[in-house]
Amino acid sequence: MAKSKTSSSKKWWKEQIIYQIYPRSFFDSDGDGIGDLKGIIEKLDYIKSLGVTAVWVNPFYASPNDDNGYDISDYRKIMDEFGNMDDFNEMIKGFHDRDIKFVMDLVVNHTSDEHEWFKQSRSSRYNLYRDYYHWWPAENGKPNYRFSYFDEKGDAWKYDAHTDAYYLHYFSAKQPDLNWENPEVRREIYDIMHFWVKKGVDGFRLDAFQFISKDTSFPPFPKGYQNNVVDVIKHHGMGPTLHDHIREMNKEVLSKYEVFAVSEGVGSSFEDAHSLVDEDRNELQMVYHFEGVEVGNGLDDPHTLADFKQVHSKWEASFKDNGWISIFLANHDVPRMVSRFGNDSDEFRVASSKMLNTFLLTMRGTPYCYFGDELGMKNIYFQHISEYQDIAAKNGYKKALSEGRDMKKFMQNLSFYSRDNSRTPMQWDNSEHAGFSSDLPWIAVNQDYKEVNVAAQETCPDSVLNHFRQLTSLRTNNPVLIYGTYQQVDKDNPEVYAYSRTLDSQVWLVLLSFVETDSIFQLPDNMQSFEIQGNNYSELRINDGRAKLKAYQAVVLSQKG
Ligand code: GLC
């Protein structure tokens, strides 16, 4: 197949810097302890001041909140706790007035069990909505095992006595999977998309999208099946009809507007990922792969810098000529960026946060910056199960207990990896509840808020926040950071991640130290003469053509011709 050179072609969505907002935790305008849309409206100028060009806001549709909004009961209504449609209209206008694009989270692998479709579907085997979901009649015996991420037993089939049948839920029991093989379901989804595009949204983040198509005969897993990432995706998603459905969605919706769509999850190979976004496929625009945030084998066997470089470089290489990727180090499903990839000790939190932000904003691909990472917010590290709010943590705990697992180890892991780490409230100032709310927040505030907060960082020229702003401006004003090619330099250096970005005659070099000590980096011949475009320290020590980087130093250099 001839490959088109789509990766270097200019597209508006490649040029975005996306800021991800978890609305529940961003700003509470009405004092109920829960963030809301009016809260986002109050902070529009702050968001603009960051230099980001687009936002992705996690789901704010009507929802009983079994999974914080990822269980939707009405796709055309706003969640009561977050406000109403007037607030939405005002919010999106506020973004657009500031030239900020708006990306909507579209959760259509599943709905809430409280969605009208499911209520109908569950009511009778003969109901018109029965085939909107996957049902397995009990007289056929127990269905073959399918894995569920949030189920207490890890079982995706739930027995429902009312019609003596099981329904499928890859996530919680309150998140039944939609049956995408039913054309009526697909039509409903396209209608929902039209509805929101007409309200002004500029893009869709397609939640759990690799799972929409599955083998609906639900055969037994082959011998040797393992409950690992590759096998789970292969045998639960990326099904035979996936591309037909996406092409239909492209034809019916995406191609009709100036919108883009990014797929959360990309299958289990580069081939899968390319099949979703290469331009000649006419499907989606951007992939959001997880390998970058899954690097390493857990707390006992963490990743090395070599692993980190390798993951990002291999994705970059694969998408060099064709397709386009997202760049991110955190989101609402993983730990805080600085705790996971930097060093969140008092001594190095600031330097390493700036270093990681430099990575996000100088790599090739569209950066997704998670709210709070522009301040260097870190993990809260809950110790007791009663502190957790996330269904994945609560049900994961029950599952581990029932399986007789080593609970001390389980709790250690949870404390580090729990999604609640990245869901603690935004730290606005040093007043009570970090200025997030006048009432007790729905989830605990990280106690470092007295030092780590927006107000304190606004007034400090070399704060993480102001460094972030310098970097967004650098990226926006220098196409070399967007379209320039990427090449690793001194690839085997165990302490420094270095890469060049090259566009036409422009050559830039990024040096990122990942260690607590000084490190030496030999500047290549073509970079002996340079200008400093970005630096997270006040100086750069150079001796004999070698840079002596400080702990977690991050510099961006442009070649002087
Ligand atoms: C995605 C979301 C996650 C959610 C899940 C189920 O992975 O990012 O937060 O729990 O889908 O919708």
Query: Atom 7, ligand 1: which residue's CA is nearest?
Result: 208
Ligand 1 atom at shortest distance from the alpha carbon of 70:
12
> DSSP letters along 77-132, please?
EE-GGG--HHHHHHHHHHHHHTT-EEEEEE--SB--TTSHHHHHHHH-TTSTTGGG
The mean of the pLDDT values for the chain is 97
Give the Cα separation of 108 and 72 in Å (integer).
Answer: 9
pLDDT reported for residue 323 = 96
Percent of the chain with pLDDT over 70: 99
The candidate with the shortest Cα–Cα distance to 27, out of 456, 492, 454, 416, is: 454
Ligand 1 atom at shortest distance from the alpha carbon of 265:
7
Residue 91 corresponds to which amino acid? M
Give the Cα separation of 181 and 212 in Å (integer).
Answer: 9
| Confidence category of residue 7, pLDDT binned at 50, 70, 90 | low
Ligand 1 atom at shortest distance from the alpha carbon of 171:
6
Per-residue pLDDT tens for 265-304? 999 999 999 999 999 999 999 999 999 999 999 999 999 9
Distance 390 CA to ligand 1 centre (A): 11
pLDDT reported for residue 422 = 98
Per-residue pLDDT tens for 97-117? 999 999 999 999 999 999 999
Judged against a pLDDT cut of 70, whether residue 130 lies above it is answered with: yes
Judged against a pLDDT cut of 50, whether residue 4 lies above it is answered with: no
Judged against a pLDDT cut of 60, whether residue 148 lies above it is answered with: yes
Query: Atom 4, ligand 1: which residue's CA is nearest?
Result: 70
Distance 18 CA to ligand 1 centre (A): 18
To test the pocket of ligand 1, the residue of 63, 67, 263 to mutate (highest count of ligand atoms within 8 Å of its CB) is: 67
Q: At what angle do helices 183-198 and 242-252 cross, to 10 degrees?
A: 40
Ligand 1 atom at shortest distance from the alpha carbon of 109:
12
Which residues in the chain are classed under CATH 3.20.20.80?
A: 12-111+183-472
Judged against a pLDDT cut of 60, whether residue 1 lies above it is answered with: no
To test the pocket of ligand 1, the residue of 288, 333, 334, 370 to mutate (highest count of ligand atoms within 8 Å of its CB) is: 333
| Confidence category of residue 8, pLDDT binned at 50, 70, 90 | confident
| CATH assignment, 116-168 | 3.90.400.10
Q: What torsion, rounded to 10 degrees, do the Cα atoms 395, 330, 16, 89 define? A: 40
| Confidence category of residue 3, pLDDT binned at 50, 70, 90 | very low
Judged against a pLDDT cut of 60, whether residue 5 lies above it is answered with: no
Distance 534 CA to ligand 1 centre (A): 35
Looking at residue 278, the DSSP 8-state letter turns out to be -
Tokens of 242: 């996936």
Domain 12-111+183-472 fold is TIM Barrel (3.20.20)
Rg of the Cα atoms in the chain: 24
Which residues in the chain are classed under CATH 2.60.40.1180?
A: 484-559
Ligand 1 neighbours (beta carbon < 6 A): 67, 70, 107, 171, 207-208, 264, 332-333
Q: Calculate mean pLDDT across residues 241-247.
A: 98
- Token pair 């302490």 is at which residue? 495
558: which strand partners? 508, 531
pTM for this predicted structure = 0.97
Distance 171 CA to ligand 1 centre (A): 8
Residue 228 corresponds to which amino acid? N
Distance 149 CA to ligand 1 centre (A): 10
Ligand 1 atom at shortest distance from the alpha carbon of 419:
9
Judged against a pLDDT cut of 50, whether residue 9 lies above it is answered with: yes
pLDDT reported for residue 227 = 87
Give the Cα separation of 62 and 84 in Å (integer).
Answer: 10
Judged against a pLDDT cut of 60, whether residue 71 lies above it is answered with: yes
The candidate with the shortest Cα–Cα distance to 88, out of 134, 57, 120, 47, is: 57
Query: Atom 2, ligand 1: which residue's CA is nearest?
Result: 207
61: which strand partners? 78
The β-bridge relationship of strands 203-206 and 260-264 is parallel
Which residue numbers are catalytic? 207, 264
Q: Calculate mean pLDDT across residues 362-382.
A: 98
Which residues in the chain are classed under CATH 3.90.400.10?
A: 116-168
Burial, 352: exposed, middle or buried (Cβ in 10 Å; 0-12, 13-18, 19+)?
buried
Q: Calculate mean pLDDT across residues 75-82.
A: 98
Give the Cα separation of 235 and 462 in Å (integer).
Answer: 49
484-559 belongs to which homologous superfamily?
A: Golgi alpha-mannosidase II (2.60.40.1180)
Per-residue pLDDT tens for 389-412? 999 999 999 999 999 999 999 999
**What size, in residues, is the chain?**
561
To test the pocket of ligand 1, the residue of 171, 177, 390 to mutate (highest count of ligand atoms within 8 Å of its CB) is: 171
User: Widest CA span of the chain, in angstroms?
Assistant: 80
The β-bridge relationship of strands 326-327 and 519-522 is unpaired
Query: Atom 12, ligand 1: which residue's CA is nearest?
Result: 70
Distance 362 CA to ligand 1 centre (A): 27
pLDDT reported for residue 561 = 75
